[in-house]
Structure formats: C-alpha cells, structure tokens
Structure 1
Amino acid sequence: MKQFEYFQENFNAKLKTLEAANTLQLERLMHQLEALNSTNNLKLEQLVYRLKILDAKNDVEQQTEANMPRSCREVKERVYDVPTTHLIQPDFAADPIKVLCELKKRGGGWAYILNRFDGSQNFDFDLEEYKQGFGNLSSEFWLGLDNIHYLTGYEISELLVELVDWNGTSVFAHYDVFRVGSGHEGYLMTVSGYKGTAGDSLSNNNYSKFSTKTIDLDIWSLESCAQKHGASWWYKNCLKSLLTGKYLKGDVPLEQINKIMYWDTFRGAQYSLKEARMMVRPRIERND
C-alpha cells in the first residue's frame, strides 16, 4: 500500500512539473504570438501610411496635370515670367510636351517648332527622327511631327515664320491657318492666310505630306523631291522653301541651290539664310 502511495505521489509531482512546463511554454508561445501580432500590426500601419502618401501624391500629380497649360498662349495668359521653357498638356497628347515659348513677339503665346541660328544641329534625318524631334530647346531643334500634330491638329492654329539673312535683315511670314495632321495622314500640312514681309513661300505647298529621302509622299511624278533636294520637308511639286535644308552661308554654288535653308521670296533659292524660326499658337477667332 505504501508503495502505491509513493508511486501516486511521484506521479502527481511529475504531472505538476509537466503542467508547469507546459504552462510556461504556452505562456512563451502566447508572448511570441502577441509580439508577432504587434509587429504585423505595425507593418500593416506602415503599409497603410505609405498607401495614403501615394494616394496623396497621385492626387497632386493629377491636379497638376489638370492645371497644366494646354499651349504657350495659356502660359502667357497665366502671366508666367519664368524662363521660356515650359511643360504644356495639349488636349489629345498622352503626355506633357516640353516646349520653348515666345511670350512677347507679335502678341506672344507662340510655341517654337523649329529653331535654327548657328548650324550646330544636324537636320539630315529620316522620318523616325522627324516624328520624335531632335536637338535641344536651349539651342537648335525640331520639335517633332507628332508634337506639332498635337499642337495644331485639333484646333485652328496660326504659324509665324521668322527669317534673318547674313546682313541682319529680318522678315516674317504669318499664316492665319496652319495644321499638321497625324502620322496616318502623312503629317499633312494645311496652310493659308499669308501676310508679312518675307513673301509667301509656303502656301504653294498647302495640303502636302511630309516626305523624307526614303519615304516619298509628294505628288511630283518624275522623282522624289526629298531626294532631289536632300532634305525632309512638306513637298508637293517640290518647293519654294526648305527650312530644314543644309546650313551654309549666303550665296551658294550651283550644285547647292534648292538644297539649303532658304525661302524663295526672301533672297531666293541660291541664298542660305542665317536664322529661321517656325512658331505656332492656337488662333483667337476674330470678327474682322
């Protein structure tokens, strides 16, 4: 009997020890679980906080894009007096376009689409480069046919051409209507309503597509105008102007005629101009 009591006491003692160990282990597990939950809650709170920051940033970006000027004319209307390079958001452009704005000349609000004045930028490119644009807004550049389409293709726009010869004589050509179609239209140019001092050397190519030396979209049946004149441009029955032509100085040899940067009604096709600028802006309808 005593042996049984001893056995029972020993068993109870071991059972209590085991229960105590299990209780301690259970408490440890509970503490670990609580710590894990606390860590997860902290991580969750941090994640929610980051999401809120991203949402706020996205709201600001959307608001900024919504408030972005659609054109250099709107830049002028908002009375910016910061440097003339701006981001604008034309209505149908997927992304903002960085442009050089002229805010003072002839009423201001012009966006440069071509700027040449020292010959530092090569203009001898094919269609892909002319689509995308090239050069630097702080120097010589071509804005790009796609960008020009977004600036002019969806509302009535006007064009300003400024030219300077090597004697410093400046002239201009202003067109009341200027539009460049999409790539599917061959970047078809519509231009009319000339006035100015340079003479009209562009209306002759009204309703012409943009051709390059590898893509002939002119209507001249004998050969490619772009190959003949060595430059990409809006050709019809060839041309009376070529502001993307070679940058030379003044009168040129016979073999360079019609291949240079020229405007036929100002100094002729044998004279390479010193400066050429093309600028566009949305037209304000007038009753006169």
Structure 2
Amino acid sequence: MRLSTAFLLAFVSIMYGYSLPLEAESKRGNLASKQLDVMDRKLTVIRGAQEEQQRKLITMDFKLNQVLSKMIHLTHAKPAKEELSFNLSMALDKWQSSSNKLEQQINKLQISLERRNEHDKQLEKHSQQLELLSEDAKLEIANGKESKYVQPAKADCFELDVEQRVDGVYKFLEPELNERQRDINERYCAFATDGSAWTVIQRRRTNWKQKEENFHRNWDEYRTGFGDLSNDFWFGNEFIHKIVYRDDYILRIELQDHNGIEAWIEYGLFRLDSESYNYQLVIGKLNENSTTSDALTYHNRMDFTTYDHRYDDTTIDNDNGNDNGWWSVAKSNLNGHSILWHNEYSLNASRMLIRPLNINPLLIATDDSYDEDTSLV
C-alpha cells in the first residue's frame, strides 16, 4: 500500500515535472508571437513612412524640374532682353539725333528769319532808291527805253541783289568813258539763270519793233562798242577785255529761232586778249547741259576780224555780210548780215553774256531757285 502510494506520488511528480516545460514553452511561443506582431506593425509603419517619403521625394523632384525649367527659360530669354535693351538704346539715340536736327533747323529758321527781316529792310531801302530815279531815267522810260539803275556802291552785275532780280541797264561806280563817250561801268545786267546776274556783251534781234542796229561796223567801232544798251548793241572789245582779264569768266550764249524756240549754250572759260593780240578768243569746256550744239569751239584761239581789219587768209563773203566783226569766218557769226549758228542756221535773236566763274558769296545775297531758261526779248 505504502509502495503504491509512493509509486503514485512518484508518477504524479513526474507528470507534473513534464507539464511545467510544456507550459513554459507555450508561454514562450505566445511571447514570440506577440513580438512578431509588434515587429510586423513596426514594419508596416516603416513601410508607410517610406512610401510617404517616396511621395515627398517625387513631389520635390517635380518642383525641382519646374524650377529648372523656369531657369532654362530665363536663361534663353536673356538674349531677347538684351536685344530689347539694344533696340531701346538705338531708338533713344535716333530720338536724340532727331532732336539735335530739329534744334539745328530751328536755329536755321531763326537765322533765316533774321535775314528775311534784314532783306525786308534792304527792299524798303531799294524801293526808296528806285523812287529817286533821275529825270533822265524817267525820260528814257517815257521814250520806251529801259530805265537805268544807279548802283554807285557796286562794281559789276554779279554783285546785284539776287532776290531783287531786275534786268536792265545799271550804272556802277564812277563813269569811265572812252573816246566815243561810252561808259565801261554802264552795263546791261540780266538774271538769265539762277544765282547772280550776268553782264550782257551782245544783244541782237531781227524783226524787232525798234529799228535794227547795224552790225556791219569797222574795227574801231567794234573796239569801242556801238548800239543802245536798252536795245541791240555790241559792248566793245576793249571793255570786254578789261572785264575778263581780271578773273576767269563763263560765256553763255542764248539763241532764238524764228518760231520762238529758245536754246542756250555755255563755255566754262571765256577770255579776250588785248588789242595787241587782235582780241584773240579763248574759250573753255562746253557745258554738257547745254540745249544746243557747239559752233564756237572752232573759233578758239582765232583773232577778231572786221571787213577792214583781218589777220587770216579766209575768203570774205561780202554779199552775206559775213565780214562783220567776229573771230574769223567759219562755223558761226552772231554779228553777221544774219544771225548765224553753224553757218547755215539763221536765227531771230541772240544774246552773249558773261559772269565770273567763282563768285564771292559775301558780295551778293543768296537765292533758293530760279528757272534756267529766260526770254531774250
């Protein structure tokens, strides 16, 4: 009995001892399961945090790309801004230049206004002078002749006021008379072109209301001059020589045919030697804008001849009056029996005019414009 009881107690002890490790193991398993759950939750939290961080990184990358795109746009737009700045600078410079030009124009207008005021004063003075014409001049007007204007302070036609532009007979300086009582300082002045006036040294018209002047004259008459300056005349070789030897002069010839058609021709140089050299002709280059062909160059370096004074061997055609005063007998003779140009072209009127090649602008006033052509009658 005691043995059974002991055996039973031993069995119970063994079983109890065996159950304790199982219980402990079960507890450890439960603890590990709980730890796994905790770790799983932490991993879940970590994954969520990682995903959130990933989203933030994506957002930051997008914003960074936007910033970079704007930077690239601004970088590319810089040249355009520089070009705009350059254009603005150019526009400013142009405006400044226009402003300077406008200021210059204003100054010129002011100067022009001052000159105009001065010119008005001169016109008033000139008008008063014209009212004081001499009795001789008034008589000449009554007789159908052109009036004579007195200009004692001037020496030549080119010094006349270019804005007044009055053709006519002018008396300059003091009288200087030759043996035929002709005055070298009394001249017919014509504003034939723009600029200053010309001195007329020959004028001849056929079929004119006045009696035609006789151009069939001897050497002395061509030397001293003949005719009326208000009508037809030859100014005189000696007078012409004294005028042109002082400076270089231009020669202008104006022609009119019987139909009233006018033409002109100019030579860049005109000289007349002294009587010792037979008033030899010297002319220069032809003006290319002339409206008629050349018929005088042939006479260059030729002596002046008349029917009683010749220095060449040419045949004189007395029937046609070609022995009238001219530089030999050849291509032209505006003083012949008829007015000849090219020796076969008979004209109705002619006029020879001279003017200095270089004119001192301080001696004359200025003028803006004037027609090239002018009437011969």
TM-score, length-normalised on structure 2?
0.48
**Counterpart of 1:18?**
none
Letter of the 2:327 counterpart: W
**Counterpart of 2:302?**
208
1:222 and 1:150, CA in 2 relative to 1: closer, same or farther beyond 3 A? closer
1:89 and 1:217, CA in 2 relative to 1: closer, same or farther beyond 3 A? farther
**Counterpart of 1:68?**
153
1:273 and 2:366 correspond: no
Determine what percentage of the aligned residue pairs are the same residue.
28
Distance in structure 1 (CA, Å) of the matches to 2:153 and 2:302: 32
Radius of gyration: which is bigger?
Answer: 2
Question: Whose helix proportion is higher, 1 or 2?
Answer: 2
Measured against aligned partners, the alpha-carbon deviations of 1:224-273 in whole angstroms (never above 9, x if no partner) come to: 588983311012xx321100011xxxxxxxxxxxxx31111xxxx23320
Give 1:74 deviation, angstroms: 1.0
1:106 and 1:275, CA in 2 relative to 1: closer, same or farther beyond 3 A? farther
Give 1:93 deviation, angstroms: 9.3
Letter of the 1:244 counterpart: N
1:87 and 2:87 correspond: no
1:243 and 1:106, CA in 2 relative to 1: closer, same or farther beyond 3 A? farther
Distance in structure 2 (CA, Å) of the matches to 1:226 and 1:106: 40
Alpha carbons 1:133, 1:141 under 8 Å: kept: yes
Q: Secondary structure at the match of 1:233?
A: coil
Match of 2:334 among 236, 243, 251: 243
Match of 2:324 among 231, 242, 261: 231
Match of 1:263 among 341, 356, 367: 341
Letter of the 1:161 counterpart: I
1:223 and 1:158, CA in 2 relative to 1: closer, same or farther beyond 3 A? same
Distance in structure 1 (CA, Å) of the matches to 2:260 and 2:164: 30
TM-score, length-normalised on structure 1?
0.62
1:245 and 1:112, CA in 2 relative to 1: closer, same or farther beyond 3 A? same
Distance in structure 2 (CA, Å) of the matches to 1:82 and 1:173: 22
Letter of the 1:73 counterpart: F
Give 1:217 deviation, angstroms: 2.0
Distance in structure 2 (CA, Å) of the matches to 1:102 and 1:148: 16
Count of residue pairs the alignment pairs up: 199
Match of 1:141 among 221, 233, 238: 233
Give 1:131 deviation, angstroms: 0.8
Measured against aligned partners, the alpha-carbon deviations of 1:16-39 in whole angstroms (never above 9, x if no partner) come to: xxxxxxxxxxxxxxxxxxxxxxxx
Question: Whose strand proportion is higher, 1 or 2?
Answer: 1
**Counterpart of 2:185?**
97
Q: Secondary structure at the match of 1:128?
A: helix
1:183 and 1:68, CA in 2 relative to 1: closer, same or farther beyond 3 A? farther
Question: Any runs of at least 4 consecutive aligned residues in structure 1 with deviations exceeding 6 A, and if so which?
Answer: 92-95, 225-228
1:128 and 1:284, CA in 2 relative to 1: closer, same or farther beyond 3 A? same
Give 1:188 deviation, angstroms: 1.3
Measured against aligned partners, the alpha-carbon deviations of 1:130-159 in whole angstroms (never above 9, x if no partner) come to: 011111111111111111112212210001
Q: Secondary structure at the match of 1:262?
A: strand
Alpha carbons 2:251, 2:353 under 8 Å: kept: yes
Letter of the 1:175 counterpart: Y
1:162 and 1:239, CA in 2 relative to 1: closer, same or farther beyond 3 A? same
**Counterpart of 2:253?**
161
1:133 and 1:226, CA in 2 relative to 1: closer, same or farther beyond 3 A? farther
Give 1:171 deviation, angstroms: 0.6
Match of 1:282 among 349, 352, 356: 356
Letter of the 1:242 counterpart: N
1:193 and 2:285 correspond: yes
Alpha carbons 1:216, 1:226 under 8 Å: kept: no
**Counterpart of 1:130?**
222
Give 1:208 deviation, angstroms: 1.3
**Counterpart of 2:36?**
none
Distance in structure 2 (CA, Å) of the matches to 1:184 and 1:89: 28
Distance in structure 2 (CA, Å) of the matches to 1:273 and 1:104: 19
Give 1:89 deviation, angstroms: 5.2
Alpha carbons 2:166, 2:191 under 8 Å: kept: no
1:224 and 1:172, CA in 2 relative to 1: closer, same or farther beyond 3 A? same
